[in-house]
């Protein structure tokens, strides 16, 4: 029997809710359940009754330039799903909540702190044979007012990342070891995409994001196991100033969530430009063990 | 540029007349109707050389000769959450089986954007394109085999 969320030793356990908790709050008017997936058909194929969809491409990204939605668009989104600043927004989704944590991270840029992740995500809910529906709910539009997006606390840009590198502060590359080593420019089972150079930001640690998740049910590992990974193996300390990155900032938002909320690292930022920006930047410092090994062999 | 096989073009034309919500509903219906590869063609564990490279939904593709001279295409999608892959498998199986090999071999991989729209993640879109490419490769191999008499 797995431990309950409260027994797992997280610094901020109330940021996670169980599938049972969600089932008990399906009709709670103060709770808005939101599904966020990579697969655009999944929500429509079925979802938790009452859940709205937050689509990461249509809803969360600026449609023209590479950036996230601004305040007006965020307010429009929240009003559409009938959420107020006091609504508890519970996010869940496919791929071990990878996209749900991405949406969660974005909510934090607008200061919507009353947000939670459903532990285990969509797959756990389905495996437990909990109710699903194809009915799309309609909520009375709210009058949500958001502050301007604050990119200073949880988001890192390339110049900040470069300074972080120069100061030799810790960074975590959460991509696969093959991507980190420069053997491929994309995650396993994904075709090549998006960057002219392979490798990683010099000095970055490689801790693949999915190590934080139990493979059997997609739930987060307990705090002791997470500390083994991040603190014992990789020598990170809670007082460290940490930047996480991946390919476009989606997988690294998962690790950002783990470090900030489950392990209580107060100063963690997600570099969402990630490798699709850094790997294309002219003269950006890169470590590529794979290429270096090839050069040595050729010498 | 070669025309698309008639059945595929017809389906795409239908999809393009639909708004996003109706298109998604139609694609989900196609995913619901998807029939995986019959046991006479392949049984688990499926051979790795039939697995679509780059497809996170663990899609597999097989082909066998069709009396028309073309091929029949069969698919498996092992990830039960792989709804888009199932929809695409259903579309490719029904619209390309029996079609002329030269038409199948030149179906552009980015046809997936006409099916699903542009709002796909890069990883998802490239995975789905991998399915199309696998079908195209089977058609090309069959063309080459026919040309060399093997």
Please, is B45 exposed, middle or buried when counting C-beta atoms within 10 Å of its C-beta (0-12, 13-18, 19+)? Answer: exposed
Q: What confidence score (pLDDT) does residue A189 get?
A: 45
Confidence band (pLDDT; 50, 70, 90) for B68?
confident
The mean per-residue pLDDT over the stretch A232-258 comes to: 96
B28 touching chain A per CB within 8 A: yes
Q: What confidence score (pLDDT) does residue B122 get?
A: 74
In degrees and rounded to multiples of 5, residue A110 shows phi and psi of: -105, 10
User: Rounded CA gap, A223 and A242, in Å?
Assistant: 18
Query: Mind giving me the DSSP string for chain A?
Result: -PPPGGGS--TTGGGEE-HHHHHHTTT-TTEEEEE--SSTTHHHH-B-TTPEE--TTTTTB-SSSSSB--HHHHHHHHHHTT--TT-EEEEE-HHHHHHHHHHHHHHHHTT---EEEETTHHHHHHHTT---B-PPP---------PPP--SSSEE-HHHHHHHHHTT--EEE-S-HHHHTTS-SS-TTS---S-SS-SB-TT-EE--GGGGB-TTT-PBPPHHHHHIIIIIIT---TTS-EEEE-SSSSHHHHHHHIIIIIS--S-EEEETTHHHHHTTSTT---B-HHHHHHHHHH-
The mean per-residue pLDDT over the stretch A86-91 comes to: 98
Subunit contact B84:A58, Cβ cutoff 8 A: no
Tokens of A143: 């009058």
User: Rounded CA gap, A101 and A108, in Å?
Assistant: 10
Closest Cβ–Cβ partner in B54, B124, B126 for A39: B124
The mean per-residue pLDDT over the stretch B131-140 comes to: 96
How many Cβ atoms are within 10 Å of B85's Cβ, its own excluded?
Answer: 29
Residue B40 in domain: yes
Q: What confidence score (pLDDT) does residue B150 get?
A: 62
Residue B43 in domain: yes
Subunit contact A56:B55, Cβ cutoff 8 A: no
Residue of B nearest to A135 (CA): B25
Tokens of A116: 């939670």
| Cβ A192 vs Cβ A186: under 8 Å | yes
User: Rounded CA gap, A220 and A258, in Å?
Assistant: 8
Region at A97 (left for phi over 0; alpha for psi -120 to 50; beta for the rest): left
Please, is B21 exposed, middle or buried when counting C-beta atoms within 10 Å of its C-beta (0-12, 13-18, 19+)? Answer: exposed
The residues, ordered by sequence, that sit 6+ positions from A192 with a Cβ below 8 Å of its Cβ are: A184, A185, A186
Residue of B nearest to A39 (CA): B84
User: Residue B85: which domain range?
Assistant: 6-145
Residue B59, domain CATH: 3.90.1010.10
Best residue of A35, A37, A40 to probe chain B, by most B CBs closer than 10 Å: A40
How many Cβ atoms are within 10 Å of A240's Cβ, its own excluded?
Answer: 16
The mean per-residue pLDDT over the stretch A281-289 comes to: 94
Residue B1 in domain: no
| Cβ A26 vs Cβ A50: under 8 Å | yes
Residue of A nearest to B129 (CA): A191
Tokens of A225: 């196991």
Residue B41 in domain: yes
Q: A48-70: per-residue pLDDT in tens?
A: 999 999 998 889 999 899 999 99
Chain B residues in contact with A191 by the CB 8 A cut-off are: 53-54, 126-127, 129-130
Chain B residues in contact with A189 by the CB 8 A cut-off are: 54-56, 127
Residue B150 in domain: no
User: Rounded CA gap, A278 and B122, in Å?
Assistant: 17
Exposed e or buried b for every residue in A35-59, given b needs 16+ CB within 10 A? bbbbbbbbbbbbbbebbbbbbbeeb
B128 touching chain A per CB within 8 A: no
- Does the CA dihedral B101-B103-B104-B108 come out positive or negative? positive
Residue B114 in domain: yes
The mean per-residue pLDDT over the stretch A222-232 comes to: 98
Chain B residues in contact with A41 by the CB 8 A cut-off are: 24, 27-28, 31, 83-84, 87, 116
B26 touching chain A per CB within 8 A: no
Domains of chain A: 5-127 (3.40.250.10), 155-298 (3.40.250.10)
Exposed e or buried b for every residue in A79-112, given b needs 16+ CB within 10 A? bbbbbebebbbbbbbbbbbbbbbbbbbbbbbbeb
Confidence band (pLDDT; 50, 70, 90) for A76?
very high
Domains in chain B, number: 1
Going by C-alpha positions, the residue among A223, A18, A202 that lies closest to residue A121 is A18
Q: What confidence score (pLDDT) does residue A85 get?
A: 97
Window from A85-94, A272-281, B49-58, B99-108 with minimum mean pLDDT: B49-58
Residue B17 in domain: yes
Q: A117-126: per-residue pLDDT in tens?
A: 999 999 999 9
Tell me, yes or no, if A299 is annotated catalytic: no
Q: What confidence score (pLDDT) does residue A1 get?
A: 57
Please identify which of the residues A83, A117, A174, A246 carries the catalytic annotation.
A246
């Amino acid at each position: 029997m797995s431990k309950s969320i409260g027994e797992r030793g997280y610094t901020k356990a109330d940021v996670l809710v169980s599938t049972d908790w969600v089932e008990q709050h399906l009709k709670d008017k103060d709770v808005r359940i939101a599904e966020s997936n990579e697969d655009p058909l999944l929500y429509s194929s079925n979802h938790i009754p009452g859940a709205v969809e937050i689509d990461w491409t249509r809803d969360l990204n600026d449609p023209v330039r590479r950036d996230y939605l601004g305040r007006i668009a965020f307010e429009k989104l929240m009003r559409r799903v009938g959420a107020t600043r006091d609504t508890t927004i519970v996010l869940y989704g496919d791929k071990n909540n990878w996209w749900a944590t991405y949406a969660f991270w974005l909510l934090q840029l607008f200061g919507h702190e009353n947000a939670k992740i459903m532990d285990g995500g969509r797959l756990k809910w389905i495996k437990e044979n909990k109710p699903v529906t194809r009915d799309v709910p309609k909520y009375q539009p709210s009058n949500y007012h958001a502050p301007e997006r604050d990119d200073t606390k949880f988001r890192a840009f390339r110049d900040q990342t470069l300074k972080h590198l120069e100061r030799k502060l810790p960074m975590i590359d959460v991509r696969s070891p093959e991507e980190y080593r420069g053997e491929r420019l994309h995650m396993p089972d994904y075709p090549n995409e998006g960057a002219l150079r392979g490798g990683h930001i010099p000095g970055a640690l490689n801790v693949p994001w999915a190590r934080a998740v139990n493979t059997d049910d997609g739930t987060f590992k307990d705090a002791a196991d997470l500390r083994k990974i991040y603190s014992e193996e990789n020598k990170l300390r809670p007082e460290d100033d940490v930047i996480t990155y991946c390919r476009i900032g989606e997988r690294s938002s998962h690790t950002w969530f783990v470090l900030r909320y489950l392990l209580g690292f107060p100063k963690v930022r997600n570099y969402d430009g990630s490798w699709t920006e850094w790997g294309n930047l002219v003269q950006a410092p890169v470590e590529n063990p794979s290429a270096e090994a090839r050069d040595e062999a050729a010498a | 540029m070669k025309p698309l096989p008639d059945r595929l073009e017809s389906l795409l034309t239908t999809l393009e007349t639909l708004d996003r919500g109706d298109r998604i509903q139609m694609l989900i219906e196609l995913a619901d109707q998807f029939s995986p590869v019959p046991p006479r063609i392949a049984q688990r564990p499926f051979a790795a050389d039939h697995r679509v490279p780059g497809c996170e939904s663990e899609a597999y593709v097989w082909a066998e000769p069709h009396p028309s001279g073309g091929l029949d295409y069969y698919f498996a999608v092992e990830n039960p959450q792989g709804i888009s892959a199932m929809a695409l498998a259903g579309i490719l199986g029904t619209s390309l089986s029996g079609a002329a090999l030269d038409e199948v071999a030149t179906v552009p991989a980015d046809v997936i954007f006409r099916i699903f729209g542009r709002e796909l993640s890069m990883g998802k879109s490239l995975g789905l394109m991998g399915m199309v490419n696998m079908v195209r490769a089977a058609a090309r191999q069959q063309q080459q085999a026919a040309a060399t008499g093997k």
